[in-house]
Structures are given as C-alpha cells and as structure tokens.
Amino acid sequence: MTSASSISPVVVITGASSGIGRATALAFAEQGARLVLAARREPELEAVARSCRELGAQAVVAPADVSSAEDVQRLASQAAQAFGHIDVWINNAGVLHFGRVDETPTEVLDRVLSVNLSGALYGSRAALAHFRRRGRGTLINTGSVLGLVGQPFAAAYIASKFGVRGLSEALRQEVHDQPDIHVCTVMPAAIDTAAYQRAANYMGREMLPIRLLYPPEAVARVCVKLWKRPRREAFAGPAFGLVTATGKALAPALSEWVTEVAARTMEVGSAPRDASEGNLWRPSSDGLDENGGWRRRFARRTPPLTLLGLGLGLGVAGAFALSRTLGNRNAAVTPAA
C-alpha cells in the first residue's frame, strides 16, 4: 500500500536550480506533480520550471535564501497560495567548503552550518506546521553518507550533515502521534554535481569528488520512492551507503581511517587554487546546473585499471588496519605476564 497522499502531489523543493534538486524536480514532474521550486537564482529556477512544464507538470518558482527563516516561511505561504496545500517538502539546498578547520575563516564555517543545517531546520519547521494542520505530509531532508562517517577538510559540512540526520530523527519522534506525517532522510553517496566546483576552498588546491560517482537522477529516484513509500532513511548510491554504514558499525576506527585516506588521496587535486568563498553568499552561474561533468572528466583521465588498482590498494590497506585494530584490542585485554 502506498502512503502517497495525492495522485498529483504538491512538492516544495529547495535548491531546485541545480544538481540533485533540479533532477528531483524533473523526476516529480514525470509523476505529474505540482511543483514549488526554491533557490536563490530566479532565471535558473525558471529554466527548471519550464522543463517541468514540458513534462506536463505545473511549476512555480519562489526565490529564497534558506538561511533566512523569513524567506522559508514566505516559501511555505507561496506554496500554499499557489496550490492550496503541500504534500511533500524536500530540504535539499546545500553548500560545501574545503579547508582545514583552523585555516578556514569562522564566517565560512558559520555560513555552511546556517545554509545546510538551519536551512533544513527552518524548512522542517514550516513544513511540519503545515502538515500538522492537514494531518498528513512527507518531509525529506537531504543528509549525506557523510552524515554517517566523517572526512577531513570539510568539518562544518560534515557537522551539518550529521546534524541533518539528527534533526530528522528528533522530528520523527515529535510527530509520533501523527501516523500520516513522515520524516525521511535521504543520504546520497558522492554525486556528479557542481557542488565541488562551487565549494568555498581554503586548501590552496583544486578539490575533486571521489571517483565512485552517481548521477543526480539516482537521488531524485530515491526521493520519489520516499514519497510513495516513506522510510526513515534511504541511501542514494545504496552499495556505497551500505558499505559505509556496515564499516562504521563493525569497525568504526577502520572506517574513519579508510574515508580519511580516500579523501586525502582522491579529493585533494594538484592544480593550485586561490582561497575562495565559492557560492556561499553569492550564487554561481557557471552553466553546470545539470551535473558537474566529473564522470566525463574521470572517464577520460582514469582508466579502469587505475580504479581497480586504487580499490585493491584501499582494500589491502583496510585489511592491514583491521588486523592492527584487532591486534590492539587483543593486546588491551591480555593480562600482563
């Protein structure tokens, strides 16, 4: 039985001008949804709305900065005015930063938390107030696999994604008395979007995603599934998500070590970069709204054998670290002679 409350759902999506949010808008348009699309860039939102209409959906745009509680409240009012009610609210807007925490300006760290975590909190608050009045609705918060396990050089981003997961968990408990209100977290693996090019960067080097990339449409499909059949949490890029979750549960120290090595070896590029605040305060119109072009770039530069070698290298290093972890654990319980 599906929990979807309406055949033609009214869906609010933040961060809909680009990447995952754009793909999610198009996926819901294919379901005949009525869409309210939010982000800061109005022309890019209009372009997404046009594509949604070409698929037969209704779509309106509502420019908003999610770090402003007033903007988010206005977004909820605009959605209710446009279509009478809201069925699904997706907090997807997000920004990224790179840099060691002590080398990153405090205001950059604050801004990442404000957009990613406060933005999701304001959106959740507005959505749940509306859902309570109606007695139904589905809230989807966009976390990340990096809300399960940390990674160096993006401390505020990681904290925000651990926070989003906790936010959803707390809100599920708050709406426990409301059987038709659902709170879900979608946790994407690495996705081929321009988030990496647009990130604030204080590393002095170009930063890249890891090589195991999924297209934004993979996350969009999971969001549609969550509307049809809500679940507490869902991975987008399930193999990657399950390996991460299992590794974290069974061998937390090892899993931290593996993600650290993966970040250090795959994400830190060699090309020099000046310090930049990226798109944190001012949106970037770089023509990369469909995807980041990373899979094309890596397919050209990374032959399959290199990937295989990298995978094997990580596997061997992981096995070595596991044996050390187990060895240390045994040593800790062996009584002194």
Judged by the rule CB under 6 A, the positions of this chain that interact with ligand NAP are 14-21, 39-41, 44, 64-67, 92-95, 115, 142, 144, 188, 190-191, 193-195, 198, 209, 279, 283
For ligand NAP, the closer of residues 134 and 165 by Cβ is: 165
| CB of 80 vs ligand NAP, minimal distance in Å | 19
For ligand NAP, the closer of residues 16 and 254 by Cβ is: 16
Provide the angle, in degrees to the nearest 10, between the axes of the packed helices 19-30 and 216-228.
50
| CB of 300 vs ligand NAP, minimal distance in Å | 20
| CB of 306 vs ligand NAP, minimal distance in Å | 21
Provide the angle, in degrees to the nearest 10, between the axes of the packed helices 106-113 and 155-174.
30
| CB of 130 vs ligand NAP, minimal distance in Å | 19
Helix (H) or strand (E) holding 268: strand 268-272
Contacts of 99 (CB under 8 A, 6+ apart): 108, 153, 200, 201, 202, 203
* Active-site residue set: 157
**Residues shown for the chain:** 337
For ligand NAP, the closer of residues 294 and 321 by Cβ is: 294
For ligand NAP, the closer of residues 6 and 51 by Cβ is: 51
Residues 302, 306, 308, 309: is their CA dihedral positive or negative?
Answer: negative
For residue 284, give the amino acid letter. Answer: S
Single out the residue of 99, 45, 14, 120 nearest to residue 276, CA to CA.
99
